[in-house]
Amino acid sequence: MSLSPAFAAPAQASASPEKSSAGRLISLDIFRGLCVAGMILVDNPGNDDLAYGPIKHTVWNGWTPADLIFPSFMFLVGTSMVLSFQARLGRGESRGSIFRHALQRTLILIAIGLFINGFPVFHLANWRIEGVLQRIAVCYLAAGVFVLWQIGADSSPRLPCACSAIGR
């Protein structure tokens, strides 16, 4: 009995595990997946009245684990942006083209957020302009401008750490 090629033991990989992941930071991808799973769980708990307490947003005072999803995702956006912008600058892309791409991505996120918040009626009186995607877009653009300004010509940071500059 022989195995089909799909189930046969894989040949010894010539690339190391770090290179087989196409240069991606695995821990960042895992954290991103956990954040997205958390978003889905928090946004769709089933019956809001019977939902498990920690996946509900707090009314006003205090916090629950659900209130950590958005800041965690914004941390991921910033971390991914720095890694991506450094790699793109290292490949020779101009700051202008990276900024145009960030601006295009910002406008697309705002448009998607407006569409989702307006669907299906699109009545301007009930349209939520300051939705979550719009906030992510604005933060992405602001952080993108800062990161492009902060990364030096050799794609290394101009400041060793932004926190060290703030702490002095």
Please write the tens of the pLDDT for every residue from 20-64.
Answer: 356 788 999 999 999 999 888 887 777 777 778 777 777 778 788
Residue 147, H or E segment: helix 132-150
Task: List the chain domain ranges.
Answer: 23-166
Is the model more confident about 167 or about 128? Answer: 128
The three-state secondary structure class of 151 is strand
Q: Among residues 19, 24, 57, 128, which one is catalytic?
A: 57
Please write the tens of the pLDDT for every residue from 66-122.
Answer: 888 999 999 999 999 999 999 999 999 999 999 999 999 999 999 999 998 888 888
Active site residue 123: no
The answer to whether residue 137 scores a pLDDT higher than 90 is yes
**Mean pLDDT, residues 122-150:** 90
